[in-house]
Structure 1
Amino acid sequence: MTVSTRAVKVPFSPVPPIVPALACLYLMLNLSVETWIRFGIWMLLGAAIHFGHGHRPPPTPHPHEGPPSRKEWLSEAG
């Protein structure tokens, strides 16, 4: 499909995405170093949780064991 046969045309085509991106960049550049350090710490913490969570598979019951009965389940919850 060529540009002239597209069904939707965006006015001022490259400008709408570029202007907000430049505005965000301007705001980011005006943040303090302390804010960037806090951001970096939170990003590292989030990455550690993301990559550290769920690497081991959950323990599975033995093949001869079925799910607990309702009475067993209620007594454990109790």
Structure 2
Amino acid sequence: MDLYSRKIVGYEIYENESSENLATVLKRATLNEGSLAPSVLHSDNGSPMKGTTLVALCYLLGIAASYSRPRTSQLTG
């Protein structure tokens, strides 16, 4: 989801959660957005978000990774 416009830029449903599947989604989303591709990808500290496949893809695309603080919920009251 784009932080400013709140537009959903890409999603897919898979049987399991993995860095490889997430990299596929990110690749398709950035291709669809073209010049509006993100410069920062913010996420939780889950293993798919820190997997080698996704980290390498972000590096190739010039996307910086940003992670939530450990054990901190994204939801605020």
Taking structure 2 as the reference length, the TM-score comes to 0.24
State the structure with more CA Rg.
1
Query: Which structure shows the higher strand fraction?
Result: 2
Query: Which structure shows the higher helix fraction?
Result: 1
